[in-house]
Structure 1
Amino acid sequence: MRTLLVLGLLLNHLLALAGSTGAGPSQGITPEQVAVIVNDADPNSVEIGAYYLAARHIPDKNLIHVSIPGHPRKLSLAAFTQLKQQIEANLPPETEAMVLAWTAPYAVECNAITAALTLGFDASQCKDTCAAGKPSPYFNAATAHPYADLGLRLSMLLPTDNLAQAKALIDRGVVSNFRQYPASAYFLRTADPDRNTRSKFFPPDGAVPPLQFSVKNLKANQLENAQDVMVYETGGAQVIKLETVRFLPGALADHLTSFGGDLLGKNQMSSLRWLEAGATASYGTVSEPCNYWQKFPNPTVLLKHYLSGATAIEAYWKSVAWPAQGLFIGEPLAAPYRR
């Protein structure tokens, strides 16, 4: 009963914000507040970093060069500490968010690199990755200025292994800011009970006026042939039929499973598959989290902030209560509902 009450209150707040004229370009992270970090040892990283600066009109002074030879998937704490110090020493003071223009590294021991960079490395989580995580002060926060208000610079990884796909991803994010499409959020309750722990937070079916937006709950293992997808969240180690789905510019999509954030791993579906299928941002964990819903995006919180005008990086970060193991990937400034 308490869960239903919370859902109802959040949805009412979502509707109120969606109908308000207060969510505008003056709120939230802007390109001038974004730093782009490129790996000079990776030509793709350098090229995509330059492409992203031009596409989003990010000042040249916000480009930071580092060197990480060998494309390691995981960094030691010592290597990460050195990298973090180098990045922070060169950040413009107004920086609110960081874009890591590479595919690997994406982990620091058991932490995701985006979480370690934003919140600091959590050594206690690595003693038992299935233990509860530390609460994020940014979870469901009302602030539009994470660094100014909370001392947190959000980070997101922009994969670069495939140059054409990386540029297409950036282009989708840019386009999302200029046109609003009739769209839907799809929340799937699958036959996998262990990976359905956040289904109790699925917002109820219905329209969200005046946004030409609908919420749709399905009991299904996969979504097929939907052509208006702005949000797609499910639970499962693999997600099939993605080739039949049309993701709109700015779409967010993720699956609750243990190793979605192990981008180059082979055991479960990588979160990269969502971006390859046309989503603009995604999320996954890099080490065994067990199935705490708090370690994954909360569907109602994610939807509330995204439809209220938040960027993809803000909405995703605000939706995860315990993000130490969680990797945020995609184009961070996508904001289809910012007016």
Structure 2
Amino acid sequence: MPSPAVAVPRVGGRLTNKDLGLVINTADPYSVEVGEFYIRARKLAPAQVLRVELPVKASLTPEEFDALKTAIETHFGPRTQALALAWTVPFAVSCNSITGALALGYDAGPCVDAHRGCAPTRPSPYFNARTARPFSDLKLRPAMLLAAKDVAAAQALIERGVKADRSLGLRGAPPAHAHFIVTSDRARSARAPLYPPPGLLRGAGIMVHVQQTQALENEERVLVYQTGATQVDKIDTVSWLPGALADHLTSFGGRLDGKGDQMSAIEWINAGATASYGTVSEPCAHQQKFPHPQVLLLNYAQGSTAIEAYWKSVAWPLQGVFIGEPLAAPFARR
């Protein structure tokens, strides 16, 4: 059963294009092309862009990661609050996600063996936080990969993010729909007790649905889709709103190279979602390692960007990679 509404702080503003730093991998043609497209789409200044040369592979070594982190810390000043990484790989640093390691620091502890990977990981001070200035207030830069199956799909993702801005919550508009799914997979439906109460979220124009089914089919105006399964069928039948958020609780959804036997988070992006999340190494079914449904929904509905809503919803994000268009803000009013 869904839980009662949780307390989510009233957000104090949101991130804008002026707060974002973009990192481009010059060794990766995808990264170069997608990065240049993003600069134009979000009107980024030259000082907001860092070009580095990284190995084009799924996982960086700790030493390779240290060089990247040093370059980022050297290039970006205190104005830069968050990062967009213009690539699909690398998505990991050993058993850490690259986004988690950049924000919280690399931690070799969970990588020693599978038992440690199942243990609690470093908590995020950004979880369910009020601040819209994560680096200024917390010395933490949330990061998100501009990840997609190819350049054309990445460009479409970016266009969806830009189109999403200030598009929802308007008086007289039909509602957006948020679907929270309980599947027959009990272990992967561990978030079900955290689902919001069903019904209309007044002031935002979001109709919340809590459903027992294996997958949605032919649903319209979908803004949020959260479920738990190794594979999610029929996502290509869903009509997604620009700015849609979608993820599934499973062990290896964050493996973006398509080499795992579980559905990758990138499939949500390819289907038409604008942001997603998945873990890159075995997390076990800790709710804290996956997006908290109510924290995600209520931050987004207040006008937060996709990167803020997703990052604020994960208490232990070290193993999880965030992907999508970070600045999408459908409920923003300015």
- State the Cα deviation string for residues 58-110 of structure 1 (Å, max 9, x = none): 112111000013x1101111111111111211113300011110110000000
Q: Is the 8 A contact 2:148 2:269 kept in 1?
A: no
**1:332 has 2:320 as partner:** no
Of residues 60, 75, 82 in structure 2, which corresponds to 1:75?
Answer: 60
**1:212 has 2:200 as partner:** no
Give the counterpart letter for 1:231 in structure 2.
V
Aligned pairs (5 A) from 1:91-130: 91-127=76-112, 128-130=116-118
Aligned residue for 1:43? 29
Distance across 1 between alignment mates of 2:53 and 2:148: 15
SS at match of 1:232: strand
- Name the Cα RMSD after superposition: 1.6
SS at match of 2:270: helix
- State the Cα deviation string for residues 280-316 of structure 1 (Å, max 9, x = none): 0000000000110100000011011000111000000
Of residues 227, 232, 239 in structure 1, which corresponds to 2:225?
Answer: 232
**1:310 has 2:304 as partner:** yes
Identity %: 50
Distance across 1 between alignment mates of 2:30 and 2:6: 45
Aligned residue for 2:291? 297
Distance across 1 between alignment mates of 2:102 and 2:317: 12
SS at match of 1:188: strand
Aligned residue for 1:133? 121
Of residues 284, 290, 295 in structure 1, which corresponds to 2:278?
Answer: 284
Give the counterpart letter for 2:330 in structure 1.
P
The answer for unaligned runs of 5 or more in structure 2 is: none
Q: Is the 8 A contact 2:148 2:270 kept in 1?
A: no
SS at match of 2:117: coil
Give the counterpart letter for 1:140 in structure 2.
N
SS at match of 2:248: strand
Q: Is the 8 A contact 2:251 2:280 kept in 1?
A: yes
SS at match of 1:82: helix
**Residue 166 of structure 1: how far off its partner (Å):** 0.4
Distance across 1 between alignment mates of 2:167 and 2:63: 45
Aligned residue for 2:243? 250
Aligned residue for 1:320? 314
Q: Give the TM-score, by structure 1 length.
A: 0.92
Distance across 1 between alignment mates of 2:77 and 2:85: 16
- State the Cα deviation string for residues 237-296 of structure 1 (Å, max 9, x = none): 000011110110000000000000011123100000000000000000000001101000
Aligned residue for 1:8? 5
Which of 34-43 and 207-216 deviates more? 207-216
Aligned residue for 1:188? 181
Distance across 1 between alignment mates of 2:6 and 2:148: 40
Distance across 2 between alignment mates of 1:102 and 1:270: 15
Give the counterpart letter for 1:150 in structure 2.
L
Q: Is the 8 A contact 2:161 2:274 kept in 1?
A: yes
Distance across 1 between alignment mates of 2:6 and 2:261: 38
**Residue 132 of structure 1: how far off its partner (Å):** 1.2
**Residue 161 of structure 1: how far off its partner (Å):** 4.7
Q: Give the TM-score, by structure 2 length.
A: 0.94
The answer for unaligned runs of 5 or more in structure 1 is: 18-22
Q: Is the 8 A contact 2:101 2:318 kept in 1?
A: yes
Aligned residue for 1:159? 147
Q: Is the 8 A contact 1:258 1:289 kept in 2?
A: yes
Distance across 1 between alignment mates of 2:223 and 2:317: 23
Distance across 2 between alignment mates of 1:9 and 1:132: 22
Aligned residue for 1:20? none
Give the counterpart letter for 1:31 in structure 2.
N
Of residues 241, 259, 270 in structure 1, which corresponds to 2:264?
Answer: 270
Distance across 2 between alignment mates of 1:160 and 1:213: 27
Distance across 1 between alignment mates of 2:6 and 2:152: 42
Which of 92-101 and 309-318 deviates more? 92-101
**Residue 9 of structure 1: how far off its partner (Å):** 4.3
- State the Cα deviation string for residues 110-165 of structure 1 (Å, max 9, x = none): 00000001110122222311111221111100111101111111101111551110
SS at match of 1:8: coil
Q: Is the 8 A contact 1:255 1:284 kept in 2?
A: yes
Give the counterpart letter for 2:103 in structure 1.
T
Q: Is the 8 A contact 1:45 1:160 kept in 2?
A: no
